[in-house]
């Protein structure tokens, strides 16, 4: 069974969690977490590097010990070290970590003080009022845990888009190489670039004598076959991801692709329009009575019901049909439209690569400029820069810009917005920078009024350029803080500053709906990678997907401007 980067990263995260519950050395724990993040963001499959005999220690954050464990996992699919840790702790204790708000430190406290080992025991401890007495918890924390446990029980498991992509792309490559296969497309929420994916819907056109069904159900990563017929099959991969495969004739491919891409609400709306025109739309085509009038392409399906082609990311029944009917569909932003990236980190703080390496990686992707925005001093866990360290980095950027060709480094900072709305560094330092990225990294539980006031005050600072990851959410790990986003967006318009769409797959923040509001209010959005290594620039594609879901066009995005056009906009906010 092929081992994907996500599989190795998941093992390393489990190791780090168990080590933290056991109370192991923090540097060791951090090494596993950093390795997991690096592997999750790595564009090439590590197993191929192992097969080629490449030196894994060349990867950022990977030493000899971790390299050996990666080789073991890719070769055997197992980790002896993880299995040893599982033997030393209750096997179900890691289930507690799936509850939002419960990190390893809290799980450790619950385990050692209350002997909580399962979600059921956690629920009972919260119901009985025993958690509030533990140091660092309290009544409010206990209530939050109780609510989180009950919400968790009602949720189905979903996969982050970037994790689903690893399995989807490998499976599509496998299917595309089969004899007789003509086209392979992942449809469903994956194609619509939803932030998380519940399952994969794969559409295939193939010759009648193709063995695609047998090969699909016999794929190495299949754990269970739910159903298998001549034209459709459903399986569960060993990672827990369900995959449904449909094989259709080539002349029906467009209709089937439209049907299985969804969303359900969008498809229902299209069928209603068709009915009004005396037509029927299904996965086989568009029909007038028994006569098939369209369906070989998606464009033909939309044309048959009197609409322009609607891109997959917009198909949520949120006004796209009315816009298509009126000829007002946006010309959605493309990855190739980006001229630069305005949020990146180096090994001067919590990044993994040097200033020069980050610049050369951005240049190799065709970017014209890259803003270096290290963390500020308050974020000690990320080794944030103090004024003297930041000044030295600015000098280094100036020297490097004299040597580099084809890429310009901009001097910036990701400065902490403190609880009172002030910024973590003085004006004398911020005034030297090309841009200042404000970010909330603490006090997430403030009331809506206080959180909003805090951010508005920060935006009023004369050197403030844009608000990073504006809601602070981490997908499936941390809920967004409570803030009046419409007020924030309108204040950005009044102030003349911008908002970020953070392309990291765990953030994708702004939300798509907030992107659409920013567009309507005339506030530019900056799509940034938040890169912590040279590999992270590949995350920009997920940011573009989120921007397209938010109806953003090239002109709505700050960093689609060439540097000469960007400078006046940056200076306007300083």
pLDDT score of 537 more than 80: yes
Average pLDDT over residues 156-166: 87
Least confident segment among 43-47, 239-243, 341-345, 475-479: 475-479
Q: How many CB atoms lie within 10 A of CB 96?
A: 26
Residue 155's pLDDT is: 63
* Shared domain check, 211 and 121: no
Here the CATH number for the domain that contains residue 303 is 3.30.210.10
Residue 118's pLDDT is: 78
Residue 153's pLDDT is: 66
* Top-confidence residue, 87 or 369: 369
Number of domains present in the structure of the chain: 4
* Shared domain check, 351 and 304: no
Residue 279's pLDDT is: 96
Alpha-helical regions (H) of 89-138: 104-114, 119-127
* Shared domain check, 434 and 371: yes
- What pLDDT digit, counting tens, does each position of 247-284 carry? 999 999 999 999 999 999 899 999 999 999 999 999 99
Beta-bridge partner residues of 522: none
How far is Cα 405 from Cα 363, in angstroms, rounded to an integer?
9
Which one of 326, 348, 382 terminates a domain? 326
* Top-confidence residue, 88 or 405: 405
* Shared domain check, 243 and 187: yes
Contacts of 8 (CB under 8 A, 6+ apart): 36, 39, 46, 70, 73, 74
* Shared domain check, 361 and 486: yes
Q: How confident is the model at residue 154 (pLDDT cuts 50, 70, 90)?
A: low
Q: How confident is the model at residue 231 (pLDDT cuts 50, 70, 90)?
A: very high
pLDDT score of 79 more than 80: yes
Q: How many CB atoms lie within 10 A of CB 290?
A: 6
Q: How confident is the model at residue 121 (pLDDT cuts 50, 70, 90)?
A: confident
Contacts of 425 (CB under 8 A, 6+ apart): 376, 377, 387, 390, 413, 415
Torsion angle in degrees (nearest 10) through CA of 151, 152, 154, 157: 140
- What pLDDT digit, counting tens, does each position of 169-227 carry? 999 999 999 999 999 999 999 999 999 999 999 999 999 889 999 999 999 999 999 99
* Shared domain check, 120 and 65: yes
Element (H, E) at 396: helix 387-403
pLDDT score of 98 more than 80: no
Q: Alpha carbon of 474 to those of 73, 237, 419, 508: distances in Å? A: 27, 25, 20, 8
- What pLDDT digit, counting tens, does each position of 335-370 carry? 999 999 999 999 999 999 999 999 999 999 999 999
* Residue 478 DSSP symbol: B
Q: Would you say 57 and 50 are in contact if contact means Cβ atoms under 8 Å apart?
A: no
Residue 58's pLDDT is: 86
Query: Residue 306: how many CA atoms within 13 Å on its side-chain side?
Result: 12
Two tokens at 207?
A: 């010759």
* Shared domain check, 509 and 376: yes
For the entire predicted model, the pTM comes to: 0.80
Q: According to the 3-state scheme, what is the secondary structure of 308-350?
A: CCCCHHHCCCCCHHHHHHHCCCCCECCHHHCCEECCECCCCCC
User: Any long-range contacts for 381-386 (C-beta under 8 Å, 24+ apart)?
Assistant: 381/350, 382/349, 382/350, 383/348, 383/349, 383/350, 384/349, 384/416, 384/424, 385/348, 385/349, 385/413
* Shared domain check, 171 and 137: no
Average pLDDT in the chain: 92
Which one of 229, 248, 267 terminates a domain? 248
- Work out the burial of residue 69: count CB atoms within 10 Å of its CB; fewer than 13 is exposed, 13-18 middle, 19 or more buried: buried
Which one of 153, 168, 195 terminates a domain? 153
Average pLDDT over residues 301-312: 97
Residue 479's pLDDT is: 81
pLDDT score of 40 more than 90: no
Using DSSP's 3-state secondary structure scheme, residue 498 falls into strand
Domain of residue 412: give its range.
Answer: 335-573
Here the CATH number for the domain that contains residue 353 is 3.20.20.140
Place of tokens 């070290």: 81
* Shared domain check, 173 and 208: yes
* Shared domain check, 557 and 473: yes
Residue 461's pLDDT is: 95
Q: How confident is the model at residue 92 (pLDDT cuts 50, 70, 90)?
A: low
Q: How many CB atoms lie within 10 A of CB 224?
A: 10
Residue 574's pLDDT is: 62
* Shared domain check, 242 and 101: no
pLDDT score of 564 more than 80: yes
* Shared domain check, 366 and 315: no
């Amino acid at each position: 069974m092929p081992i994907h980067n996500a599989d190795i990263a998941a093992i390393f995260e489990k190791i780090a969690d168990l080590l933290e519950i056991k109370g192991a050395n923090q540097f060791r724990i951090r090494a596993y977490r950093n390795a997991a993040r690096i592997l999750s963001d790595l564009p090439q499959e590590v197993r191929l590097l192992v097969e080629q005999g490449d030196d894994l220690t060349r990867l950022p954050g990977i030493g000899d010990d971790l390299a050996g464990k990666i080789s073991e996992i890719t070769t055997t699919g197992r980790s002896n070290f993880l299995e040893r840790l599982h033997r030393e702790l209750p096997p179900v204790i890691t289930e507690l970590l799936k509850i939002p708000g419960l990190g390893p430190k809290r799980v450790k406290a619950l385990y050692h003080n209350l002997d909580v080992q399962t979600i059921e025991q956690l629920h009972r401890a919260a119901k009985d009022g025993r958690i509030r007495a533990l140091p660092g918890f309290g009544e409010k924390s206990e209530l939050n845990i109780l609510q989180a446990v009950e919400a968790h029980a009602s949720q189905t498991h979903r996969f982050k888009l970037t994790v689903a992509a690893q399995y989807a792309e490998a499976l599509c490559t496998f299917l595309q190489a089969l004899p007789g296969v003509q086209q392979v497309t992942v449809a469903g929420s994956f194609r619509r670039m939803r932030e998380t994916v519940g399952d994969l819907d794969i559409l295939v056109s193939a010759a009648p004598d193709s063995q695609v069904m047998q090969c699909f159900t016999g794929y190495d990563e299949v754990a269970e076959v739910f159903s298998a017929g001549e034209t459709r099959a459903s399986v569960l991969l060993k990672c827990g991801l369900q995959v449904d495969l449909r094989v259709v004739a080539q002349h029906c491919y467009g209709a089937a692709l439209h049907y299985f891409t969804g969303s359900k609400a969008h498809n229902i709306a299209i069928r209603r329009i068709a009915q009004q025109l005396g037509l029927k739309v299904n996965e086989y085509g568009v029909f007038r009575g028994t006569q098939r009038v369209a369906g070989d392409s998606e464009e033909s399906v939309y044309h048959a019901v009197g609409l322009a082609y609607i891109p997959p990311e917009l198909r949520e029944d949120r006004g796209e049909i009315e816009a298509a009917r009126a000829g007002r569909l946006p010309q959605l932003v493309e990855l190739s439209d980006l001229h630069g990236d305005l949020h990146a980190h180096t090994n001067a703080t919590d990044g993994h690569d040097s200033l020069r390496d980050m610049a050369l990686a951005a240049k190799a992707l065709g970017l014209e400029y890259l803003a270096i925005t290290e963390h500020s001093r308050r974020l000690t866990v990320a080794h944030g820069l103090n004024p003297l360290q930041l000044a030295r980095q600015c000098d280094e950027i100036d020297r490097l810009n004299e040597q580099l060709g084809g890429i310009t480094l901009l001097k910036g900072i990701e400065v902490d917005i403190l609880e009172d709305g002030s910024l973590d560094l003085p004006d004398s330092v911020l005034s030297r920078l090309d841009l200042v990225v404000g970010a909330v990294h603490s006090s997430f539980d403030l009331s809506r009024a206080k959180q909003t006031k805090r951010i508005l005050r920060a935006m009023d600072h004369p050197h403030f350029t844009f608000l990073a990851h504006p809601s602070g959410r981490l997908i499936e790990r941390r809920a967004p803080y409570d803030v009046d986003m419409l007020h924030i967006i309108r204040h950005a318009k009044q102030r003349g500053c911008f908002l970020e769409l953070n392309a990291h797959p765990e953030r994708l923040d702004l939300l798509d709906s907030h992107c659409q509001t920013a567009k309507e209010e005339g506030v530019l959005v900056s799509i940034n990678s938040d890169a912590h290594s040279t590999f992270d620039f590949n995350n920009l594609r997920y940011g573009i997907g989120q921007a397209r879901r938010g109806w953003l066009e090239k002109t709505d995005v700050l960093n689609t401007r060439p540097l000469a056009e960007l400078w006046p906009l940056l200076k306007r906010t300083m």
